[in-house]
Structure 1
Amino acid sequence: MSFPNTLFACALGLATLSSASPLLASETVQGTPLPLTYEQFEAAVPHIDLETCPAALPQTESFCRASIHHEEIHVFAFSLEGESPMIGFASYSAEGLEPLLN
């Protein structure tokens, strides 16, 4: 699948996902925050794999995935250790991507 088609599929999946009722599962009943592991992210978020992480995110012992939502590209960084918890997050404008998606 080409990069524009991959981005389109990711955007389409996110549009479908965002129309569903929101589930708030970021905290347990006791109010303790839960970590987001890569396994959970992989199952729940349409995304593309990035070859390298952006400079603003951890560069060693990590890997990054990107998703598109509205007019932003969201990049998630995960640790290579343990259950691969999320260790970083950054958002970037998706302005200018529309021609690639058509």
Structure 2
Amino acid sequence: MIRLSAAIAAFAVLATPALAEGYLYSDFEASVPHIDLPECPEGMADRAAICRVTINNDALHIHVFAEDGDQPFIAVHTFYEDGFALTLDR
């Protein structure tokens, strides 16, 4: 039983976020259905970034990725149905 506990503890240490790989835009682009925004909405990013939108149930999510380097994930901003308005331009 002590060996099992030690193995579980060792695995828990190895699974820490410090050892996790970052989430890159290339991973997102290939696996998540989304809409490209021509520019990030004001206040969404504090540096040069690209923004993409996903919709799930009654929420709209704006995913923010850095423009430079490997384009790492920066943040996600979630808005529920009473927090946004959609406009359809034809």
TM-score range, shorter chain: 0.5 to 0.7
> Which of these residues, 30, 34, 39, is aligned with residue 14 of structure 2?
30
TM-score, normalised to structure 2, is 0.66
Distance 2:34 2:56 in 1: 10
TM-score, normalised to structure 1, is 0.59
Q: Considering only CA atoms, is the larger Rg found in Structure 1 or Structure 2?
A: 2
Moved over 4 A (4+): none
> Which of these residues, 62, 85, 100, is aligned with residue 72 of structure 2?
85
Q: CA deviation at 1:82?
A: 0.9
- Answer whether contact 1:64 1:77 (CA < 8 A) is retained: yes
Matches within 5 A, 1:64-83: 64-83=51-70
1:9-29 Cα distance to aligned partner (Å, 9 max, x none): xxxxxxxxxxxxxxxxxxxx9
Q: Secondary structure at the match of 1:75?
A: strand
Between the aligned residues of both structures, percent identity stands at: 31
Distance 2:58 2:33 in 1: 16
| Structure 1 segments unaligned to the other structure (5+ residues) | 1-28
Matched, 1:94 2:78: no
| Structure 2 segments unaligned to the other structure (5+ residues) | 1-12
